[in-house]
Amino acid sequence: MKKHLFIFTFLLVLVSLHSSLAAQKPAGMVKKQATTSSLEQTASFKVLGNCGMCQKTIQNAAVSAGALSADWNMETDLLTVRFNTAKTSVDAIQKAVALAGYDNAGYKAEDATYNNLHGCCKYDRTGAAGGTKSCTEN
Ligand SMILES: [Cu+2]
C-alpha cells in the first residue's frame, strides 16, 4: 500500500512538472507575436469610390491582397490598411483595389472593369471634390 502511495505521489510530481513546462510555452509564443507585430505597418492612401457597396468591394480587395484590416472612409476617400510587411505591400494592395475597379493613389482601374461596376458605384474618375456621392443604395 505504501508503495502504491509512493508511485502515486511520483506520478503527481511528474504531471505537475509537465504542466509547468507546458505553461512556459505560451510565453514564448507571445514573444514571437511581438516580433511579428513589429513587421506590421499602417498606411493610408486615396481610393476613389461612392457608396457602401464600393466600401465593401474596396475593403475586400485590400484584405484579399493580404491586408490584416482595411477601412475605407466614404467621406475622405481614404483607405487605411494594416498589413504585415513580410506578406504584402502598399503596392500589392493598390494593385488589387484597381483590379476590383477602383482608381487609387497607385494604380488606375481598367476602363472595362470600371464600366462593369454597379451603376451607383461609377464614381467620378477625376476625383474632384472627393468624387460624386450620388448613390442612395446604402
Ligand atoms: Cu458604390
pLDDT at residue 127, rounded to an integer = 80
Tell me what pLDDT residue 38 has.
85
**Please, how many CA atoms are within 13 Å of residue 45, restricted to the half-sphere of its CB?**
22
C-alpha 89 to ligand 1 mean position (Å):
25
pLDDT value, residue 4? 64
pTM over 0.75: no
Expressed in angstroms and rounded, the spacing between residue 41 Cα and the centre of ligand 1 is 27
Contact 79, 58 (CB under 8 A): yes
For helices 52-64 and 90-99, the axis angle rounded to 10 degrees is 130
How far apart are alpha carbons 42 and 100 in whole angstroms? 21
Domain extents in the chain: 40-122
Asked if residue 28 has pLDDT above 90, the reply is: no
Q: Which CATH number fits domain 40-122: 3.30.200.20, 3.40.50.300, 3.30.70.100, 3.40.50.2300?
A: 3.30.70.100
Q: Report d(CA 110, CA 100) in Å as an integer.
A: 9
The CA 40 to ligand 1 mean position distance, Å, reads 29
